[in-house]
Amino acid sequence: MPAENQTLPDGLRESRHTSPTLPEPRGVLSELVINTLRAGGSSGPLPLDTHDADPYGDDLQLALYTLYELHYQGFDGVREDLEWDPELLGLRRALEGRFLGALRANCRSTDSAERALADLLLEPIGHVPTSVSHHLQRDGELWQLREYAALRSLYHLKEADPHAWVIPRLHGRAKAGMVAVEFDEFGAGRAEDIHARLYADLMRDLSLETAYGHYLDAAPAEALATVNLMSLLGLHRALRGALVGHFAAVEVTSSPGSRRLAKAMRTCGAGKAAERFYDEHVEADAVHEQVVRRDVIGGLLASEPGLESDVVFGIEATDFLEDRLGARLLAAWPKGRSALRTPLTPVG
């Protein structure tokens, strides 16, 4: 039974009630990972040479995304203990090294954390939309909002989960601030207000499948990379500063971007639940931004000032990958083309 049709005792339909099926491979690396999982594990050492792989390409990004998903919901028919299979972990480390090395080469800012955050809020000059939210607010059509929602579902149906990994690695003011923001993301104690749940409601308004991971095969590498970055930074204690930088970048840009997206939803008649998701983020994330700046980043750098370059890297890497995804969408949509690998079924 599809996950969206599962009815729990309290009447809530949960997108994550079941695990998704394994995706279709996109090259030798992803095929190796998927075949190994399907076989129940490796029969010997796995090849670890990733030097010729495009660090931002479909094959590597899907292989990495699939391995990371073992730490979230897993896949239907895949043994849960493969999460810690040593051969798969070795392959994941090689893939991460290729991805992280490319990001470090592309993101070499020497700005302070405060300067890097301020740069994220610079508004474009002129009349041509330079960000996805600007385009959707001004020229967006319902089919484009549906594609955007399908792509973002790979993160929003597990919203805040990757960031929760950093909590045990923080202390004092930084930990308290992080937990305060995460508490809101997880519904402040109310299951019906969990942001992942609100996003499933948004998808339902847009006539999209709400099952967790459903649109993985449709998502291009640029979308996978934005989610993989969160998992990469969250799963490594050594990258805790970069995870805080990433989290700050998300919270700082969320409120203005959500305001534009809420307007786009209203203009296109997407529905009340679709509007509510972004309305919720306009208010909540404006508050979260201040907590993140003052307590999470401020607290972390007060106790570990040597991590400032890592915080800046997290901010820059987030912006870099979001720009790549935006370029993909804005190269397709104004020409009336789908930005997905597999176009969505039209509504009506």
CB atoms within 10 A of CB 149: 23
Which of the four pLDDT bands, split at 50, 70 and 90, describes residue 10?
very low
d(CA 339, CA 331): 8
CB 318 within 8 A of CB 246: yes
**Which CATH code, of 1.20.910.10, 1.10.287.610, 3.60.40.10, 3.10.20.30, is assigned to 113-335?**
1.20.910.10
Q: Which two tokens mark 325?
A: 């995804």
Q: What is the mean pLDDT of residues 200-211?
A: 96
Residue 11: CA count within 13 A, CB half-sphere: 1
Q: What is the pLDDT of residue 9?
A: 42
Tell me, rounded to whole angstroms, the distance of Cα 345 from its chain centroid: 23
Q: What is the pLDDT of residue 4?
A: 39
Residue 131 has pLDDT above 50, yes or no: yes
Q: What is the residue whose two structure tokens read 């809020």?
A: 121
Q: Which two tokens mark 297?
A: 């980043």
Q: Which two tokens mark 348?
A: 């009506």
Backbone angles phi, psi at 17, to 5 degrees: -65, -30
Q: What is the pLDDT of residue 122?
A: 73
DSSP summary character for residue 148: H
CB 29 within 8 A of CB 63: yes
Q: What is the pLDDT of residue 348?
A: 64
d(CA 8, CA 255): 32
* Per-residue pLDDT tens digits for 74-104: 999 999 999 999 999 999 999 999 999 999 9
Q: What is the residue whose two structure tokens read 């106790």?
A: 303
Which of the four pLDDT bands, split at 50, 70 and 90, describes residue 129?
low
d(CA 294, CA 77): 45
Percent of the chain with pLDDT over 90: 83
Q: Where in the chain is the domain with CATH 1.20.910.10?
A: 113-335
Mean of pLDDT over the chain: 92
Question: Distances from the Cα of 126 to the Cαs of 123, 129, 134, 296, in angstroms?
Answer: 10, 8, 12, 35
Q: What is the mean pLDDT of residues 339-348?
A: 90
d(CA 245, CA 229): 12
Residue 334 has pLDDT above 50, yes or no: yes
Residue 73 has pLDDT above 60, yes or no: yes
pTM of the model: 0.93
CB 243 within 8 A of CB 249: no
Q: What is the mean pLDDT of residues 206-234?
A: 98
Q: What is the mean pLDDT of residues 214-241?
A: 98
Q: Which contiguous run of DSSP H or E holds residue 87? A: helix 86-106
d(CA 277, CA 198): 6
